[in-house]
Structure 1
Amino acid sequence: MVESTAMAPGEREARIDLAAAYRLVALYGWDDLIFTHLSARVPGPEHHFLINPYDMMFEEITASSLVKIDVEGQPVGMTAHPVNPAGFTIHSAIHMARDDAQAVMHLHTPHGQAVSAMACGLLPHTQTAMITSHDVAYHEYEGIATDLEERERLVADLGERHAMILRNHGTLTVGDSVASCFLRLYFLERACEAQVLMLAAGIDGLHTPPQGVETKVAGQSPPAGIAMLARGLAWPALLRKLDRIDPSYRD
């Protein structure tokens, strides 16, 4: 059941994309029961956002079941679903601080949490890590994110980057669209997974890439390039994948 307020122009498309992102997170096994959040800005001058209903698994979420909320995480209009205002603390800070933050995604995957707890952070030992590591920021753990004062520090730590490792917590990405945000999340999660696997064999046996290669890869994968790759190629392919599996996310 969608809330009773009328949809803004472009809202329907935003709902479909965000519902697709939730389904993809479930498909890749990145969900954490009903916890963590993916959010997207509703087009228009109001500071309204879309987020998951707090009583639904990610695999159940549809475009119409997403809840429209304000910057405080409170529902806009009527909704049949509960929301978790505390869960929007991190997201609201980034949405309000950056005009390009059309989507914000945060996960608690085992691999992401494992790397978040490593003093070394994300190591540049795989191509996927090098694609994303130059755009990754770090934020120290301050407890469960219910303290509104933490928002200022989180935004300062993120700066202009598009990905963040929340120490002892998980991963987060930012995008100018759901598509670019999700692709960045995919790269970051894959890099974390590879790091956990390679460190299982011991850090002493790792092959370090030649000097200068990490910088070269950073130049080959600028944020604008990732966004273009996401919108033009990866996201349409992912939507086709979902449509083959179960198109009900569009409902």
Structure 2
Amino acid sequence: MFELEHFSLKDKVSPEEWQTRVDLAACYRLVADMRWGDLIYTHISAKVPGTNHYLVNAFGLTFDEVRASNLVKVDLDGNILDGSPYQINPAGFTIHSAIHEVREDAKCVIHLHTKATIGVATLKGGLKPWSQYSLFSLPSLSYHSYEGLAVNDNERKQLQEDLGDTNHMLLPNHGGLTVGPTVGDAFMRFYDLERACDIQMSLMQAGEEVIEIPEPIVKGIYEQAKIVHAGETGGQKAWPAMLRRAYKLDPTFCE
């Protein structure tokens, strides 16, 4: 039986690592609140500042059980560090270690199996420019074909090549993924991707003709989004509000 242990690492790690742990644990709680989780089977990671190590959820915890102290620190070879009593999801290691290995800017990686991202990813046409949200994702969107459960080390290289320098990914038959320089940026990017996919699925179910966004606007909105929906007004601006929401939901995430 999986036993949930309560302990605190607050005074045993650097202030920078502790803040990353708090942000990442908050992200897990927010994902749970938005019902984007998949029992215990998806994962979000964040690099430990100044190292090649990253933090990820303990395999066996639901997202609403994740706390700053029970996040597991691992290296790029999958070795569990600092004597954590928990194990990690093997598929989570394959995906997250592959990305952290080659993307220095990807300080946070979010991979989820939401109904909307699986649905749109699995459509042959993929994500369409049918909403403002889709235009935030499309200019930096890639796809990675399904290769079965992500436990084969050989998949790492293909995943790295498919992601390239993009920040959003759809995985046919599987789900969605976003990366960002902070937990807040990766979270907001997944929010946009999820909303875009959810809206597209709703429009397809309506069975009516869709009003297309004119091509000049499609090409121009990404530059607008860099100003209006990124940087100081995107993940960096929205994340403090999301943290406040996490504290209101259940402040135990920061223990």
TM-score range, shorter chain: over 0.9
User: Offset at 1:223?
Assistant: 9.1
Equivalence for 1:136: 141
Report if aligned partners of 1:17, 1:178 keep a CA contact under 8 Å in 2.
yes
Report if aligned partners of 1:53, 1:81 keep a CA contact under 8 Å in 2.
yes
CA distance in 2, matches of 1:145, 1:223: 36
Report if aligned partners of 1:26, 1:58 keep a CA contact under 8 Å in 2.
yes
Report if aligned partners of 2:116, 2:197 keep a CA contact under 8 Å in 1.
yes
SS at match of 1:100: coil
CA distance in 2, matches of 1:166, 1:192: 13
Equivalence for 2:233: 229
Amino acid at match of 1:129: S
Superposed, 1:15-26 pairs within 5 Å as 15-26=21-32
User: Offset at 1:6?
Assistant: 4.2
Amino acid at match of 1:166: L
Q: Residue 4 and residue 149 in structure 1: after superposition, are their counterparts in 2 closer, same or farther (change >3 A)?
A: farther
Does the alignment pair 1:123 with 2:128? yes
CA distance in 2, matches of 1:209, 1:224: 19
Amino acid at match of 2:39: L
Equivalence for 1:248: 252
Equivalence for 1:239: 243
Where does the alignment leave 5 or more consecutive residues of structure 2 unmatched? 1-6
Equivalence for 2:183: 178
Report if aligned partners of 1:40, 1:49 keep a CA contact under 8 Å in 2.
yes
Count of aligned positions: 249
- Identity of paired residues, percent? 41
User: Offset at 1:230?
Assistant: 3.4
User: Offset at 1:222?
Assistant: 3.1
Equivalence for 2:98: 93
Q: Residue 85 and residue 77 in structure 1: after superposition, are their counterparts in 2 closer, same or farther (change >3 A)?
A: farther
User: Offset at 1:106?
Assistant: 0.2
Q: Which of residues 55, 60, 67 in structure 2 aligns to 1:55?
A: 60
SS at match of 1:200: helix
User: Offset at 1:239?
Assistant: 0.7
User: Offset at 1:247?
Assistant: 1.2
Superposed, 1:159-238 pairs within 5 Å as 159-202=164-207, 205-222=209-226, 226-238=230-242
CA distance in 2, matches of 1:169, 1:232: 29
User: Offset at 1:54?
Assistant: 0.8
User: Offset at 1:38?
Assistant: 0.0
CA distance in 2, matches of 1:196, 1:243: 32
CA distance in 1, matches of 2:231, 2:98: 22
User: Offset at 1:224?
Assistant: 10
Extract structure 1 runs of 4+ deviating beyond 4 A: 2-6
Instruction: Give CA-to-partner distance per residue, 1:153-178, whole Å, 9 cap, x none.
Output: 11111111101001211000011111
CA distance in 2, matches of 1:67, 1:3: 11
Q: Residue 156 and residue 207 in structure 1: after superposition, are their counterparts in 2 closer, same or farther (change >3 A)?
A: same
Instruction: Give CA-to-partner distance per residue, 1:182-206, whole Å, 9 cap, x none.
Output: 100100011111111110012x611
User: Offset at 1:43?
Assistant: 1.0
Report if aligned partners of 2:41, 2:89 keep a CA contact under 8 Å in 1.
no
